């Protein structure tokens, strides 16, 4: 059974009644239960539901642009009125976009419930041009704030919540820690967030993890900016950035410099959501597996979570990073998908029972 960590008895009872999956035994797929195997195989095993997006480019205050992919769900039987149709903002991982299989599954789950979704693609990642020499990072929440304000202004009467995966979850937590209760979001769901960046990069630099994940992730980061080389060369030594062989080296030469941090340690400290968890002011459900090499179990802030009545952690012993595969042939629905579906539905349809906490 997963470990449910929550100091608020009312929040616990709410989850047990309306999101019972968090108290059910999670049986990982028996032939790939180990965390690294789950992490590696999920993108290849899980299906990719067909989703038709409507793209929108919005301008930012500094002259940049952000690509949003909307799933309007205009055929919604439960919420035919678009002005009050519940909206879920989805934040993909580090180099992820609206095309990731885990995002497509979240949209498929939302579609069956009648909800609208919008995917926040980080700058320069989804095929759009960079208009300024700036991309994104886990600590800077300005673009996310702009997106949340924009989506809410389009549908001010619609119930509104967000879900973030991996770095998307870190960014969302950092935003919530900064804004407290001052947000139009009703609640948030966080999946496989890296709670302490120092611990995450140290775990990823162990020899086997470097071979399986770190080097590949670094090349993905380099690939995501190489298309914008001409724009970024105005500020960076791109030859040096392209020589990075670890995420830490990439962040040292590129990310921390771009966002004005004196050192990489200053950036990693600011990017670590564990330092802002106590300030979160709306109900948040966070799912992690303790065998996730991207977010090691010992770095999950269990004691801090117990000090905030708005926070609930769901910790499984297996599942890896955005894995959570279950069943003999785990093609369609993962444990993470079920947690997402039940929690989103609980918030939109029974949320008044926790908002008086």
pLDDT digit string (tens) for 79-135? Answer: 999 999 999 999 999 999 999 999 999 999 999 999 999 999 999 999 999 999 999
Distance (Å, rounded) from C-alpha 294 to C-alpha 217?
11
Catalytic residue, candidates 110, 166, 192, 200: 166
**pLDDT, the chain, mean:** 96
Please report, for the chain, the start and end positions of each structural domain, with discontinuous segments joined by +. Answer: 3-196+272-350, 197-271
* Closest listed residue to residue 276, CA positions, set 150, 138, 136, 162: 138
pLDDT at 293 over 70: yes
The tens digit of pLDDT for each residue in 21-78 reads: 999 999 999 998 899 999 999 999 999 999 999 999 999 999 999 999 999 999 999 9
Confirm whether 317 is a catalytic residue.
Answer: no
Pairing of strands 311-316, 3-5: antiparallel
Catalytic residue, candidates 251, 291, 292, 337: 292
Q: Report yes or no: 174 and 205 within 8 Å, Cβ to Cβ.
A: no
Confirm whether 356 is a catalytic residue.
Answer: no
Q: What pLDDT is attached to residue 108?
A: 97
β partners of residue 65 = 59
> What is the average pLDDT across 167-195?
98
Pairing of strands 311-316, 284-289: parallel
Catalytic residue, candidates 105, 108, 228, 321: 321
Percent of the residues in the chain that have a pLDDT greater than 90, as a whole number: 95
pLDDT band at 355 (very low <50, low <70, confident <90, very high): low
Say which CATH superfamily domain 3-196+272-350 falls into: Alpha/Beta hydrolase fold, catalytic domain (3.40.50.1820)
Confirm whether 166 is a catalytic residue.
Answer: yes
pLDDT band at 356 (very low <50, low <70, confident <90, very high): low
Distance (Å, rounded) from C-alpha 287 to C-alpha 184?
22
**Model pTM?**
0.97
Distance (Å, rounded) from C-alpha 250 to C-alpha 248?
5
pLDDT band at 350 (very low <50, low <70, confident <90, very high): very high
The tens digit of pLDDT for each residue in 190-235 reads: 999 999 999 999 999 999 999 999 999 999 999 999 999 999 998 9
């Amino acid at each position: 059974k997963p470990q449910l960590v929550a100091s608020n008895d009312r929040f616990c009872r709410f989850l047990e009644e309306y999101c019972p999956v968090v108290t059910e035994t999670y049986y990982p797929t028996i032939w790939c239960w180990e965390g690294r195997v789950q992490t590696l195989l999920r993108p290849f095993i899980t299906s990719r539901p067909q989703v038709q997006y409507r793209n929108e480019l919005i301008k930012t205050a500094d002259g940049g642009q952000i690509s949003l992919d909307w799933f309007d769900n205009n055929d919604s039987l439960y919420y035919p009125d678009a002005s009050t149709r519940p909206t879920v903002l989805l934040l993909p991982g580090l180099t992820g976009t609206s095309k990731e299989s885990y995002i497509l599954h979240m949209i498929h789950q939302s579609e069956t419930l009648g909800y609208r979704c919008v995917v926040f693609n980080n700058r320069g990642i989804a095929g759009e041009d960079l208009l300024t020499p700036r991309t994104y990072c886990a600590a800077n929440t300005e673009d996310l704030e702009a997106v949340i304000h924009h989506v809410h202004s389009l549908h001010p009467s619609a119930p509104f919540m967000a879900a973030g995966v991996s770095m998307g979850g870190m960014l969302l937590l950092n935003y919530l820690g900064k804004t407290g209760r001052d947000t139009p979001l009703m609640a948030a769901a966080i999946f496989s967030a890296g709670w302490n960046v120092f611990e995450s990069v140290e775990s990823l630099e162990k020899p086997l993890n470097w071979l399986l994940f770190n080097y590949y992730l670094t090349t993905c980061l380099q690939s995501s900016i190489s298309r914008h080389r001409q724009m970024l060369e105005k500020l960076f030594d791109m030859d040096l950035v392209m020589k990075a062989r670890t995420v830490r080296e990439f962040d040292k030469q590129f990310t921390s410099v771009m966002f004005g941090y004196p050192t990489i340690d200053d950036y990693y400290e600011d990017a670590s959501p564990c330092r802002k968890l106590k300030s979160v002011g709306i109900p948040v459900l966070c799912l992690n597996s303790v065998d996730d090499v991207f977010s090691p179990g010992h770095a999950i802030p269990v004691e801090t979570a117990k000090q905030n009545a708005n926070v609930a952690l769901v910790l499984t012993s297996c599942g890896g990073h955005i894995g959570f595969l279950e069943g003999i042939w785990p093609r369609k629905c993962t444990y993470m998908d079920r947690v997402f579906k039940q929690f989103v539905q609980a918030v939109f349809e029974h949320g008044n029972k926790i908002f008086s906490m």
